[in-house]
Amino acid sequence: MRNPTLNVGKVKATLIPLLPLAGQERIVTRVEELRFVCRPRVGLTDRQTCQAHFAAALVEQTAVACPDEVGLELAA
């Protein structure tokens, strides 16, 4: 059985959907603001889980709050 290979050309040609830059910046700003909430109360693993939940909620919140930016930009 032959092992599959990774075709660099196909990888470079793959389009990756991204939230518009303004939405990304809002998410980063909000996650940074909320990081301290997790620090004093929980251990490292729980803190990382908490931050992941915050990030997911913020992505969803941004998508709902910015209907004019619903279209995703594609980055190669």
Segment 16-63, tens digit of pLDDT: 888 899 999 998 888 888 877 766 655 567 777 888 888 888 787 777
What is the signed CA dihedral for 51, 57, 37, 21, rounded to 10 degrees? 80
Residue whose C-alpha is closest to residue 26's, from 71, 68, 50, 61 = 61
Q: Is the pTM for the entire model greater than 0.75?
A: no
